[in-house]
Structure 1
């Protein structure tokens, strides 16, 4: 049997302001020095990801894009474990100078928290 796909599909992205606002308005939170993760049950069948990586917090485009790539890749690898929730990842100042390993460990901790908080 073929392995389940682990692609990051366009349907797995939060795109519209109204989708982000819904998560901000009614969400569960998980925070540390690098990220604030907000989750809300979506009622859909797959987890969806939205990124909020502010220039005033992280800095230039190179730093922001590196963090976005790491978050997307971590989400892609863990999506099969996550419940059907909408997730917004806000970068915090600790992520600015953190190396890749610290960011990946932080995200793995957050994904485990999401699974615990949103388990059916």
Structure 2
């Protein structure tokens, strides 16, 4: 099974990165910065993880894999926009769950995902029974 993001789901060209950085909206967390530029194209992801974050390629790739995995799971729920994630040095030592949580937090703060309650997702509403009994003939 091919687990790569399709070509149309990636920000690939330098000009696109530059446009997102100059015209987009930036939201930050201690682990990463998210640049968001709404446009008429389906949700696309660009990643920038420099050697300042982690000198070892294996560390940089670990960060990118975690962010791509989360983006892949959320892509259908995201608005039409280009998302560029810039990792910060603290991301090098952060566990995978913290990276994913920081990405979700940045998406919520940028308005790309609806805000949830303090416990994560809100519980489903339980049906409320009707207090009036139905007539026996119906």
- TM-score norm. by structure 2 comes to 0.75
C-alpha distance in 1, partners of 2:63/2:18?
A: 22
User: Higher helix share goes to which structure?
Assistant: 1
Per the TM alignment, residue 57 of structure 1 is displaced from its structure 2 partner at its CA by 2.1
* Structure 2 residue corresponding to 1:73, chosen from 65, 69, 73: 69
- TM-score norm. by structure 1 comes to 0.85
Aligned length: 112
- When the two chains are superposed, the root-mean-square deviation of aligned CA atoms in Å is 1.9
Query: Contact 2:20–2:35 at 8 Å: present in 1 too?
Result: yes
Q: Which has the higher contact order (CA 8 A, sep 6+)?
A: 1
What SS is found at the alignment partner of 1:62?
helix
Deviations 1:17-53 (A, max 9, x none): 0000000111111101110000001222x10111100
Aligned counterpart, 2:35: 38
C-alpha distance in 1, partners of 2:112/2:71?
A: 17
Per the TM alignment, residue 96 of structure 1 is displaced from its structure 2 partner at its CA by 1.1
Aligned counterpart, 1:22: 19
Task: Could you tell me which runs of 5 or more consecutive residues in structure 1 were left unpaired when the two chains were aligned.
Answer: 1-5
Asked if 1:88 corresponds to 2:84, the answer is yes
Per the TM alignment, residue 100 of structure 1 is displaced from its structure 2 partner at its CA by 1.1
